[in-house]
Structure 1
Amino acid sequence: MVLPVLGSAVVVLVACLAWGEAVHFGASAASRRHRAGLSCRGRDVAIVVLGFSNRASQPNLVNRWRARIAVRTARLLVRRGARSVRIIWRGGPVMGPVPEAQHLAAALRHAGWHGQTVLEGHSRSTWENIANVRPLLRWDELVALCSNDLHVVKARLYFARQDPDVVERLIGSANYRAGEMVLAKPLFAAVGLHKLRALRPHRH
């Protein structure tokens, strides 16, 4: 009796992990198609890293993940010919005394980033992230958003509502990597899809 139950649990777990991976892959592919023809060669790029709630005094697993995404995105853009790259760290003290942006700053340094950076440590939601980053962006910069891909889709929708001009300057990031954070992807997929359904207008 135990073995069939255990086998069923394994099948459910594998299916859940595969679903989370597939949802993130699909969101990543959609983001790449969004501005597939926009080249960063010879352009300045601002990489905006969206923060994640952090109770502890050190960067948590998700903020370390997003820092790795930002650093590999920066290196990818440099290889593709970007003239300059700077990383903007986002996020206020949502669930702890230390702003999320400070946690991201520490995680970015640990991930090997020593380039140009900007810190914004007041935003307490993704909507505020976008509102507060807009004054920090130069008019001629391309913009790359770093987080999990469903979160990036939400941030892009917020940019479309707050400043459609920035949407035309968004380029792809190296957010998705197969198998990375595989245990967390189903949760982020479920939460992300739920929030996106709430944001998008219903069709009748």
Structure 2
Amino acid sequence: MRPVVTGVATAGAAILAWGEWMNWRWSRALVGDGGGGAEGVVVLGYRNPQATANFVNRWRVRAGLRSVTADGAAGTRVIFSGGATTSNGAAEAQLMADYAKSVLGFDGAVILEEESRSTWENITNVIPLLEDVDRIKIVSQPAHALKARAYLRRQRPDLAERLVRADDYHLGEWLFAKPLLALYGLVTLRGLTADERKTSPGGV
């Protein structure tokens, strides 16, 4: 019995380690070292049919706010991006902004992008809001954020050169969900090229 238990525990640990590694790797792909003072932190919304920010969007807001660097805070704008899930509901961007301000007490510069209904549209619609920033951080679960960075690279390679790491990966955070997120990420990232998946030197 003991070897069976040991084998199960070893397999479980290996699965958790794999989930951590995949998310760690994705969080460091297509980013550089950055520079300059002005910073744009783009927080991508998740489908949210209810009247307040759901669990996923609340986490993304927290990850977005912790991605604001102390030395760049004065020149940082946080951009919440996401349209309404239902025809009579509030936009994801508005729900996230409300949570950031009323619950987390964030009083920095906030911009809402409330029209997007896909990741491609998220990037298309935030590009005009990023033209004058020096550093760009895209916040979501690591696989989704990588997909968005790849889309920025396809749409505006000049702006993609300003991409830097967001603080949306922490060791042990979402520990038991990370293997599932990794599996889902492998599916959603199938359209990316090998070059787009490559971990960037500046992301280490």
Q: Name the TM tier (shorter chain).
A: 0.7 to 0.9
Distance in 1 separating the partners of 2:133 and 2:139: 19
SS at match of 2:138: strand
2:48 maps to which residue?
Answer: 54
1:176 maps to which residue?
Answer: 169
2:116 maps to which residue?
Answer: 123
RMSD: 2.5
1:151 maps to which residue?
Answer: 144
TM-score, normalization by structure 2 = 0.82
Deviation at 1:83, TM superposition (A): 4.8
Matched, 1:39 2:35: yes
5+ unaligned residues in a row in structure 1: which ranges?
none
Q: Deviation string for 1:27-70 (max 9, x for gaps)?
A: 22335xx313x224xx2111111111123222111111111111
- Contact 2:131–2:159 (8 Å) recurs in 1: no
TM-score, normalization by structure 1 = 0.82
- Contact 2:57–2:96 (8 Å) recurs in 1: yes
Q: Deviation string for 1:133-187 (max 9, x for gaps)?
A: 1122233442111112221211111011111111011122111111112233222
Which region of structure 1 is more displaced relative to structure 2, 184-193 or 60-69?
184-193
Deviation at 1:8, TM superposition (A): 6.3
Q: Which amino acid aligns with 2:149?
A: R
SS at match of 1:199: coil
Which region of structure 1 is more displaced relative to structure 2, 90-99 or 193-202?
193-202
Aligned positions, number: 193
5+ unaligned residues in a row in structure 2: which ranges?
196-204
SS at match of 1:88: strand
Alignment of 1:13-32 (within 5 A): 13-31=12-30
1:85 maps to which residue?
Answer: 76
Q: Which amino acid aligns with 1:24?
A: N
Between the aligned residues of both structures, percent identity stands at: 40
Distance in 2 separating the partners of 1:93 and 1:11: 44
- Contact 1:53–1:95 (8 Å) recurs in 2: no
